[in-house]
Amino acid sequence: MTLASPTDFQPQGEPPASSPGGLQPDGWLRYLSFSLDHKVIGLQYLVCGFFFYFLGGALAGVIRTELASPISDFVSRETYNEVLTLHGTVMIFLWIVPVVNGAFGNYLIPFYVGARDMAFPRLNAVAFWLIPPAGLLLITSYFVQGGAAQSGWTAYPPLSITTPALGQVLWILSVLLLGGSSIFGGINFIATILKLRRPGLKMMQLPMYCWAMLGTSILVVLSTPVLAGTLILLSFDIIAHTGFFNPALGGNVVVYQHLFWFYSHPAVYIMVLPAFGLVSEILPIHARKPLFGYTTMVYSIMGIVVLGLVVWAHHMFTSGTPPWMRLFFTIATSFIAVPTGIKFFNWLATLWGGKIALNSAMLFACAFIVNFVFGGITGVALAQVPFDIHVHDTYFVVAHFHYIVYGGTVFVIFSSVYHWYPKFTGRMLNEHLGRFHFLLTFIGFNLCFAPQHWLGLNGMPRRVAEYDPSFATWNQVSSVGALLMAISSLPFLINILVSAYRGEIAGDNPWRALTPEWLTTSPPPVENWIGEAPLVTHPYGYGSAQDQIDLGAATGRDLWGGPGL
């Protein structure tokens, strides 16, 4: 493998006038501008996403406070329904999807393919700037006449047709904007990965996150337009009183469910596939071992993409689906566990025998493996028709879903922030605060959602503000866990803000990594490198004698020394 020294890519003077970055404001103002720099856009996605994460977390706090007692005594039932709807919508469409796709995808993909920027920089900027107005629409819907949408993040008719019309229409407009943002981003990622690779760099030499984003972008481009069309038809039912999904006018609510879940189950993989890719970048570096089974991991990602498009109706086993359909979707859903399981075995094999650094990034990455395995096991259980019918629309499903999207994806987001923060800012995060953040998050998360499996198995329905008093104790335990998760945000925020000014200087490559983003300065120059981009054909070659020599020459330091170990 040929590596170049970061000193070969030091910025020299002002950025070229032809560079998009050369026409942008300097300093922190560029993060408030219509920047065309993929790194700036990535950090705009990240900061904006965390704003909505804290907003969605505050809404979750309202939900758990209400559920701490079996009667509706904290907010009204209508307000509870609004908060529940906004919480799910914010967390999925404004937090997880933009961050794991837009933030890290924008920042890392051009580095990984050896490009100066994304294929379509202006489209890239438009994709981000659709998100703030979409979020503003959601927030303002809470204050309009009649209130916000009350039909949950799934917006099932006839409930979504009979609840306050203006709030529901604003919800639809918001999701349409966010869907357009995702489609623009997906097209951009596909074009960048396939067409902007550095000469000499083959597809099977790309870092795993490129493959994860390629698969994710295919799912986005194929499935998101279906959701957009479905919501447009739903808006016609609300505004023009058409009968697409309104049963009172001959509409079919089951058709809506098919169309909605054709997008919304792949949406789970739109959230978790990028997380799989990010973990695959983090584990080899902090275990000092090559990524085990690169080829099988590539094929497993593509297998998940194909199977992810044909499993949607397992959400509809109680919707009058015929037996042949139940059988098909049970088998397809069970099969999708195979490529997912391959990835977990590969991650464990990557860790086995490695020189593991238990820093904050690694702790969150390992916790992701534990949480997601548990969520995957309950997912296979839900794929079985008799069991699914028993726990459908109970808190068992809530627990399963949160073990996937929070225990999986959000833990990876935190791991990625701790890992790439030195690249973003040139400074290290405080490890003591990072470990404290991890401890509170891991304990709080499992305390919050593990008891919900028991609640669901015993029949507590989801999406209700009042419940049988016999469920009160475990709901109170769950609310205590949610409180710990909220408290965990404090050391994280303190760490992020203080370290930006007072953190230890990281150097260009504090983790001694081999992937291309670490072979330039931290933070990088406007066009990523001065001179030709480095050709990295073996990004996971940790442990071999030649790679130690190459990396030592490139970084000017001992492979096994320095911070993080």
pLDDT in tens, 340-381: 999 999 999 999 999 999 999 999 999 999 999 999 999 999
Whole-structure pTM value: 0.92
Amino acid at 52: F
What is the rounded distance in angstroms from the CA atom of residue 521 to the CA atom of residue 51?
28
Tens digits of residue pLDDT in 256-304: 999 999 999 999 999 999 999 999 999 999 999 999 999 999 999 999 9
Question: Quick check: 24 pLDDT over 50?
Answer: yes
Task: Enter the tokens of residue 87.
Answer: 């919480």
Residues 6+ apart with CB under 8 A from 73: 66
CA 297 to chain centre: 19
Instruction: Retrieve residue 494's tokens.
Output: 């303190």
Q: What is the pLDDT at residue 23?
A: 53
For 144-147, the CB contacts below 8 A with 24+ separation are: 144/170, 147/78, 147/79, 147/82
Structure confidence at residue 468 as a pLDDT band (50, 70, 90): very high
Residue 130 DSSP code:
T
Residue 503 in this model has a pLDDT that exceeds 50: yes
**Per-residue pLDDT, 31:** 78
Per DSSP, 100 falls in state I
Whether 483 shows a pLDDT value over 80: the answer reads yes
Q: How many degrees, rounded to 5, is the angle at CA 281 between CA 278 and CA 287?
A: 130
3-state secondary structure 511-547: CCCCCHHHCCCCCCCCCCCCCCCCCCCCCCCCCCHHH
Percentage of the chain exceeding pLDDT 70: 91
Residue type, 238: I
Phi, psi of 15 (to 5 degrees): -65, 150
Tokens 């994709």 belong to 127
114's enclosing H/E stretch is none
Distance CA 63, CA 463 (A): 10
Average pLDDT over residues 241-267: 95
- pLDDT > 60? residue 554: no
Which residue, 38, 4, 6, 55, is CA-closest to 486?
55
pLDDT per residue as tens digits for the range 405-431: 999 999 999 999 999 999 999 999 999
Residue 141 has pLDDT above 70, yes or no: yes
Which residues, including other chains, have CB under 8 Å from residue 188's CB and lie 6 or more apart? Answer: 118, 119, 120, 123, 124, 127
Location of structure tokens 């859903």: 333
Residue 332: the pLDDT is 93
Q: Do residues 380 and 334 touch, judged by C-beta distance below 8 A?
A: yes
- 423 contact partners, CB below 8 Å, separation of at least 6: 517, 518, 522, 523, 524
Helix, strand, or coil (residue 427):
strand
d(CA 48, CA 46): 6
What domains lie within the chain, and their CATH numbers?
A: 31-559 (1.20.210.10)
Q: Cβ(160)–Cβ(238) under 8 Å?
A: yes
Most confident of 203-207, 317-321, 527-531: 203-207
**How would you label 339-359 residue by residue, b for 16+ Cβ within 10 Å and e otherwise?**
bbebbeebbeebbeebebbeb
Instruction: For residue 543, name the pLDDT band (cuts at 50, 70, 90).
Output: confident
Query: In the block, which residue shows the tokens 């922190």?
Result: 28
pLDDT of residue 347: 96
- Amino acid identity of residue 218, one-letter, is I
Cβ count within 10 A of residue 432: 11
CB of 362 closer than 8 Å to CB of 286: yes
pLDDT at 548: 52
Q: Number of C-alpha atoms within 13 angstroms, CB side, residue 335?
A: 15
Question: pLDDT tens, 196-210?
Answer: 999 999 999 999 999
Q: Tell me how crowded residue 544 is: count the other CB atoms within 10 A of its CB.
A: 12
Strand-pairing partners, residue 427, are 505
Average pLDDT, the chain: 90
CB–CB of 253/247 below 8 Å? yes
Cα 142 to Cα 137, 150, 176, 231, 232: the distances in Å are 9, 10, 18, 20, 21
pLDDT, tens digit (0-9, with 9 covering 90-100), for 393-408: 999 999 999 999 999 9
